[in-house]
Structures are given as structure tokens and as C-alpha cells.
Amino acid sequence: MTSRSLPWRHLVLALLVVAVWGTNFVVIKSALEHLPPLLFATLRFTFVCLPAIFFLPRPQVPWSRLAAYGLLIGAGQFGLLYLALTHFISPGLASLVLQTQVFFTIGLSMRLNGEKVQRHQVAALLVAVSGIGVILTHTDSHTTPIGLGLVLFAALSWSGGNLVVRSSPGVNMLAYVVWASVFAIPPLLALSLCVEGGSAMIAGLRHADARTWAAVLWQSIGNTMFGYSAWGWLLARHPAATIIPMALLVPVFGMGAAAWVLHEPLPPWKLLAAALVLGGLALNLLWPLGQNYLRTRRA
């Protein structure tokens, strides 16, 4: 299918995915009320891996790529993100800052693959960085420099995972995530034991209630297995340029859910930061589409 328009059912599915991914930050925060962050991440990837690994064939990619993806996404992205969300940054801002992975991915691609930076990418980066600067000038007990740094490193890890996946085009993404989780669990468990300690881990499991376990399952089944598989299904049926820009709605859902459920305030500076970061992301994603459209019209 080559049309840029989506059938309404596919549009609803895409919106459902980005809504799940955006509101997921509020779900993470609720689980962290009882579970230590690294133990929570360990449980997330354990339930991603089991029992699905017994039903999905291993993707035909080298073990080294699965290991790299598991480490970068498991211990890197989500380990750091969960740590940040304990006390160092609010869920709404975390959902926004994490999207800087787009620019980290571009930078790593330039460094590792020799890709050339485009003028619109430089402009987009400057706009987005100005939004991060606004956040830095308004740090408080809910948004600390440590939290901002942890989420930025989580975004960097996510971008590394993106490059690993790009080296295996056409792979079954759900199977890829499930099998890569095998390599995310051991380091997360080891870090939890070393950093959080056995007593804190046991206490967290004892105090976990039904809402906590629902949040863990939502992370594993809703956010990871449903989200990745549905997104991959859409990308297999529509041009990436039609689907990918919809990911810009993730921070919108994230900040909206945090304001609604957790009563996270949305002062003018936070809205300005969101507008700048999202504006930079939109410029990076949509500028090439506009250029292609103009060339097509001229032809």
C-alpha cells in the first residue's frame, strides 16, 4: 500500500499504540511506589521473555545483535528511565525528554555509518536543545539535573538500540524483543542485587499489590508486546513516512496523562519546553516530506 492516507481502522490502531506508549509513564510511576526501579525493570523483561520465547522462533540474526539490543534497551534505556522516575524527574517531562533519541540516533548514524547531516536536522536539533535548556533553567525537587541526565542517557541507549535493529531489516520485531530480553534480565537482576539490595527487593515484592502487578504486566504485554507488534504491523503495510510522525503524539499523551492522573502541573515554561522539543522533532520528521511533496508537484 503506497497511499499516505490511513484506513480509519489503521489510524485508530496507530493512535492506540502511541496512547499506550505515552500513558505508560504514569503506569511506571505507579509501580515504583512499591518496587525498586531495577527490580521493576527485571520483572518487565522477565515477563516479556516468558513464556513467549517458547512460542516465537529466534530471529535469524547473530546472537551479538540480540545481546547488544537487550543490554541497550533493557539495562540502558529502561534501567536508567526507571531510576530517573523514582525521585528525579516527573513522568510528563520524562516522556518528552526521552524523544531526544531521534537526534541521538542521527548523531550515532553520522559517526558510525558516515551519514551526512542535513541543514534541516541541524535546525531541528537547535530548536529541540533550546527546549531542553528551558527545562534546565526550571529545575526543582520534581525535575532535577540528575533526572534530566538519566533520561538523556536513556535516550542515548535507545538510539543505540535503534541502530542495532536497523542492521537487521525485515526482522520480526516482536520475536526480536522477546529473544533480546534474555540478555536484559541478568544485568538488571545483578544491578538490582548490588544497588538496591536483597532486603529491598524482597520488601518490594511483599508490598506489591494488584495494581503494581497490573503495571508490570502492562509494561510487558501492553507496552512492549502489543506496542511493538502493532507498530511493526503498521510499518509493514504503510510507508514509514506515514506512520513514524505519529510518534510525535507520545509526549502529548504522556504529559496529558501525567497532568490528569498525577496532577502534574503544566506551567507556561513546561509548555514552552514541550513546544520547542516537539517542534524540533516535527521539523526533523516532516521537512523531508514537504520537500518530497514539492518535488513531486513540480514534476
What confidence tens digit (pLDDT) does each residue in 86-106 have?
Answer: 989 999 999 999 988 888 887
Does residue 71 sit within a domain? yes
Q: Are 28 and 224 in contact (CB under 8 A)?
A: no
What pTM did the predictor assign? 0.87
User: Which cell numbers hold the place of 96?
Assistant: 518528552
Number of domains the chain contains = 1
> What gap in Å lies between CA 284 and CA 299, rounded to an integer?
24
What's the mean pLDDT when you consider all of the chain? 87
Does residue 3 sit within a domain? no
Does residue 41 sit within a domain? yes
Query: What pLDDT band is residue 5 in, cutting at 50, 70 and 90?
Result: low
Q: Are 42 and 189 in contact (CB under 8 A)?
A: yes
For helices 119-136 and 268-298, angle between their N-to-C axes, nearest 10 degrees: 170
Does residue 110 sit within a domain? yes
Does residue 290 sit within a domain? yes
Structural domain including 172 reads 8-298
What confidence tens digit (pLDDT) does each residue in 29-86 have?
Answer: 999 999 999 999 999 999 999 999 999 999 999 999 999 999 999 889 999 999 999 9
> What gap in Å lies between CA 249 and CA 30, rounded to an integer?
22
> Would you say residue 3 has pLDDT above 50?
no
| Residue located via cell numbers 540478555 | 183
| Secondary element (H or E) of residue 153 | helix 145-166
Residue in 125, 45, 95 with CA at minimum distance from that of residue 251? 95
Of the listed ranges 25-34, 241-250, 254-263, 271-280, the one predicted with least confidence: 241-250
Does residue 2 sit within a domain? no
Q: How many CA atoms lie within 13 A of 273 on its CB side?
A: 24
Does residue 264 sit within a domain? yes
> What gap in Å lies between CA 62 and CA 180, rounded to an integer?
11
Does residue 46 sit within a domain? yes
